[in-house]
């Protein structure tokens, strides 16, 4: 007997027309549900996220079907991915049955679902169903028994999980009932290829043939109605993420990570800067709320949230969605709270880990822009002073701008005003210029350059703060003013390459200044030194040492510079013990987003938390390559009582100590 099964067995082909009508109706309800969301999304400002269509489609297909962003975090993610793939198989299988029954059989008189293919088809689908059920059980246990910290339980969770459970169970029961009446009696060997149905079939063996037929019919309709319910429920429950989260893989930005819209300050008709209400955000910012699955991965990784500050990136995304729906004219800042907004270090951990491609950081920055540009607000008086210092002296310390180049006295470099014929322009930054600890980094970097025969120039008193901290606080005006002055000065010289020791200067000059007309290659010294080593312009005499390395947010997550500093340290003789949170999962030092100028008044200290992670590796040395990180860690080691066990040093210091002496 050939291996196959009769589709619509016991149901009859008479069901086809009502079934299709009901199915289309359900899909109609679903589309209508999404259609109702349109006006809510459209409250936002226009934003083109439909350009480069092919690339977007490709990215969406890759991300959705590979599930790569989901299983990156195994807790919860692995269940989801396996459930997704098995459910996808079941969906594809059902589609195949539909095509066979309603197209191939009546139109072509061909039966695909027969023979060896049917056996494989049956087995794969049954196993997929079993796997899906197991994963669903995993969802249940995780959410209702284990209840990970921060994972909310809402009405949707009950509805969705029970609905999916019921669909899968009824699916197996129909199969079981059909097999009890057919395969189990006529072709038991074939039944082995339907292990789920075989098991479910045992429930029905005691029934009379008539009762079995009725039971099967009832189950079939029940299963069908549940599936209709599933489609209808999509736009109204968390199930919407099937479409919205997938859509976000299409809608995600193509701009370089960390890009912020450069406000046109020449536009005299502008009356609102930053986001005060929903309509000041983009439609994508509102859509993001619908794409959020409340997986709380952002919140788990937020350095502010995990040190008890009133910020949850997830909550902000949700609050925007709620405001768009219930009170679009309401104040965003009041809804989200100033404390939450000012707590953000713009470390991008939230955005990097988000499986739904939600853009958290720029929402916060747009709201900060409103606070700063429209209300003249600051996170604290110390920040007001620092910002005013940048205005007057071009540095947050308020030290004399004319003393900016003093650190370089007696070092082998030139000031551009006197001699601009140099290999690289070293954009020193405020910390390396004025802060004692970081001046040592600058001096060591110059030493390294000198050893490699690189002629370095600095701007000296012509250099100003790059503007990064004030920009991240929302002060686009001051940022553009200082940036314009820097750009004018730099452009006056024939600069071939700019190198920075500060990742914040690096991001700003390399990416943000492009919008303001600076188009000169910019590098961070981590990659620059690595290139010097690779080209053997610089050679090191390795000296063994054990260390752990801190990925600065603005190098790792923002600029994908992860391996180069590790390669340099390895050449220097270092043996690394990684922290749990490293590379893209690195944990911020606390100083990004302009927080370097602010006191950390709420919760516990982020820098101490990071220092604890470093000491847990057992390595006696923490290497960083950012002046903000270095400053916070020097501080965190002292206040966190780690002075006996840990030292923090900069990459340039490690390299400078190991420069090979040439014969």
Choice between 270 and 660, CB closer to other proteins: 270
Choice between 170 and 486, CB closer to other proteins: 486
Which among 11-19, 119-127, 241-249, 381-389 is the span making contact with other proteins, rule CB under 8 A? 381-389
Count of residues of this chain found to bind other proteins when the rule CB under 8 A is applied: 29
| Interface residue with other proteins, options 387, 446, 588, 622 (CB under 8 A) | 387
| Interface residue with other proteins, options 139, 172, 250, 273 (CB under 8 A) | 273
Which among 250-258, 395-403, 424-432, 600-608 is the span making contact with other proteins, rule CB under 8 A? 395-403
Contact in structure between 387 and 475 (CB atoms under 8 Å): yes
Choice between 421 and 599, CB closer to other proteins: 599
Q: For residue 401, state whether it binds other proteins (rule: CB under 8 A).
A: yes
User: What is the rounded distance in angstroms from the CA atom of residue 238 to the CA atom of residue 294?
Assistant: 9
User: What is the rounded distance in angstroms from the CA atom of residue 386 to the CA atom of residue 398?
Assistant: 7
DSSP string, 375-429: H---S-HHHHHHHHHHHHHSSTT---GGGTTGGGTTSS-EETTT----SEEEE--
**Which of helix, strand or coil describes residue 458?**
strand
Using only the alpha carbons of the chain, give its radius of gyration: 31
Its sign, for the CA torsion 295, 236, 246, 278, is: negative
Nearest to 20 by CA among 102, 94, 107: 102
Q: Which two tokens stand for residue 140?
A: 């249940």
Choice between 217 and 461, CB closer to other proteins: 461
**Which of helix, strand or coil describes residue 352?**
helix
Q: For residue 393, state whether it binds other proteins (rule: CB under 8 A).
A: yes
Choice between 230 and 378, CB closer to other proteins: 378
Which among 12-20, 224-232, 302-310, 393-401 is the span making contact with other proteins, rule CB under 8 A? 393-401
Q: For residue 643, state whether it binds other proteins (rule: CB under 8 A).
A: no
**Least distance between other proteins and beta carbon 250 (Å):** 34
Which among 269-277, 281-289, 484-492, 575-583 is the span making contact with other proteins, rule CB under 8 A? 269-277
User: Which 8-state DSSP code applies to residue 512?
Assistant: G
Starting at the edge strand that comes first in sequence, how are the strands of the sheet with 522-524 ordered? Answer: 414-415, 456-458, 424-427, 498-500, 522-524
Which among 264-272, 408-416, 563-571, 650-658 is the span making contact with other proteins, rule CB under 8 A? 264-272
User: What is the rounded distance in angstroms from the CA atom of residue 462 to the CA atom of residue 493?
Assistant: 12
Q: For residue 431, state whether it binds other proteins (rule: CB under 8 A).
A: no
Choice between 439 and 530, CB closer to other proteins: 439
Q: For residue 620, state whether it binds other proteins (rule: CB under 8 A).
A: no
Task: Annotate each residue in 459-498 with x if it binds other proteins (CB under 8 A) or - if it does not, as one string.
Answer: --x--------------xx---------------------
Choice between 82 and 459, CB closer to other proteins: 459
Nearest to 401 by CA among 414, 413, 409, 392: 392
| Interface residue with other proteins, options 70, 373, 416, 533 (CB under 8 A) | 373
| Interface residue with other proteins, options 46, 376, 410, 544 (CB under 8 A) | 376
Choice between 122 and 631, CB closer to other proteins: 631
| Interface residue with other proteins, options 195, 398, 603, 620 (CB under 8 A) | 398
Contact in structure between 392 and 400 (CB atoms under 8 Å): no
Nearest to 658 by CA among 425, 430, 448, 366: 448
Q: For residue 407, state whether it binds other proteins (rule: CB under 8 A).
A: no
**139 membership: H or E segment, kind and range:** helix 115-140
In order of 127, 392, 618, 619, 651, the CA distances from 579 in angstroms are 39, 41, 10, 10, 17
User: Which 8-state DSSP code applies to residue 152?
Assistant: -
Q: Please, which residues have CB within 8 angstroms of residue 62's CB and are 6 or more apart in sequence?
A: 68
Judged by the rule CB under 8 A, the positions of this chain that interact with other proteins are 265, 268, 270-271, 273, 372-378, 381, 384, 387-388, 391-394, 398-403, 461, 476-477
């Amino acid at each position: 007997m050939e291996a196959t099964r009769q589709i619509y067995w016991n149901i009859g082909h008479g069901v086809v027309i009502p079934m299709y009508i009901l199915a289309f109706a359900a899909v109609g309800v679903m589309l209508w549900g999404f259609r109702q969301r349109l006006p809510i999304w459209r409250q936002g400002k226009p934003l083109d996220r439909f350009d480069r269509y092919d690339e977007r489609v490709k990215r969406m297909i890759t991300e959705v079907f590979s599930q790569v962003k989901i299983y990156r975090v195994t807790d919860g993610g692995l269940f989801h991915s396996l459930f997704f793939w098995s459910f996808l198989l079941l969906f594809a299988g059902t589609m195949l049955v539909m095509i066979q029954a309603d197209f191939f059989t009546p139109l072509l008189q061909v039966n695909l679902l027969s023979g060896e293919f049917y056996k494989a088809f049956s087995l794969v689908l049954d196993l997929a169903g079993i796997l899906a059920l197991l994963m669903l059980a995993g969802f249940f246990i995780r959410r209702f028994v284990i209840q990970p910290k921060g994972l909310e339980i809402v009405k949707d969770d009950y509805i969705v999980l029970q609905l999916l459970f019921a669909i899968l169970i009824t699916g197996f029961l129909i199969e079981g009932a059909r097999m009890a009446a057919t395969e189990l009696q006529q072709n038991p060997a074939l039944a082995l290829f339907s292990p789920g149905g075989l098991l479910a079939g045992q429930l029905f063996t005691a029934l009379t043939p008539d009762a079995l037929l009725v039971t099967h019919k009832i189950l079939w309709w029940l299963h069908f109605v549940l599936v209709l319910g599933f489609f209808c429920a999509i736009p109204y429950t968390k199930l919407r993420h099937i479409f919205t989260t997938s859509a976000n893989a299409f809608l995600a930005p193509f701009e370089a990570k960390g890009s912020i819209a450069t406000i046109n300050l020449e536009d005299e008709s502008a009356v609102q800067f930053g986001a005060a209400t929903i309509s000041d955000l983009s439609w994508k910012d509102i859509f993001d709320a619908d794409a959020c699955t409340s997986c709380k991965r952002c919140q788990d990784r937020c350095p502010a949230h995990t040190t008890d500050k009133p910020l949850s990136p997830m909550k902000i995304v949700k609050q925007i969605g709620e405001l768009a729906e219930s009170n679009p004219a309401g104040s965003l800042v009041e809804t989200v709270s100033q404390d939450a907004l000012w707590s953000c270090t713009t470390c991008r951990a939230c955005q990097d880990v988000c499986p739904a491609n939600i853009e958290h950081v720029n929402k916060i920055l747009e709201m900060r822009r409103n606070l700063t540009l429209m209300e003249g607000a600051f996170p604290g008086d110390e920040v007001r002073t620092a910002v005013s210092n940048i205005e007057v002296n071009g540095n947050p310390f308020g030290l004399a701008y004319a003393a900016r180049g003093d650190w370089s006295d007696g070092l082998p470099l030139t000031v551009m005003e006197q001699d601009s014929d140099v290999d690289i322009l070293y954009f020193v930054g405020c910390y390396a210029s004025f802060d004692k600890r970081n001046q040592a980094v600058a001096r060591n970097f110059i030493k390294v350059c000198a050893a490699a025969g690189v002629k370095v120039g600095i701007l000296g008193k012509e250099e100003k703060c790059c503007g990064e901290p004030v920009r991240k606080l929302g002060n686009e005006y001051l940022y553009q003013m200082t940036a314009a002055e820097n750009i004018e000065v730099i452009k006056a010289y024939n600069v071939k390459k700019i190198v920075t020791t500060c990742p914040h200067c690096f991001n700003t000059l390399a990416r943000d200044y492009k919008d303001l007309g600076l188009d000169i290659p910019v590098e961070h010294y981590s990659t620059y030194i690595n290139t010097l080593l690779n080209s053997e312009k610089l050679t090191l005499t390795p000296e063994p040492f054990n260390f752990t390395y801190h990925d600065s947010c603005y190098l790792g997550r923002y600029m994908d510079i992860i391996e180069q500093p590790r390669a340099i340290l390895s050449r220097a003789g270092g043996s690394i013990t990684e922290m749990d949170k490293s590379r893209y999962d690195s944990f911020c030092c606390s100083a990004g987003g302009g927080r370097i100028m602010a006191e950390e008044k709420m919760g516990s200290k982020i820098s101490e938390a990071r220092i604890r992670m470093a000491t847990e590796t057992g390595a006696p040395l923490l290497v960083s390559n950012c002046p903000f990180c270095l400053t916070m860690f020097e501080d965190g080691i002292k206040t966190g009582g780690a002075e006996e066990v840990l030292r923090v040093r900069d990459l340039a210091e490690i390299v400078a100590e190991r420069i090979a002496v040439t014969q």
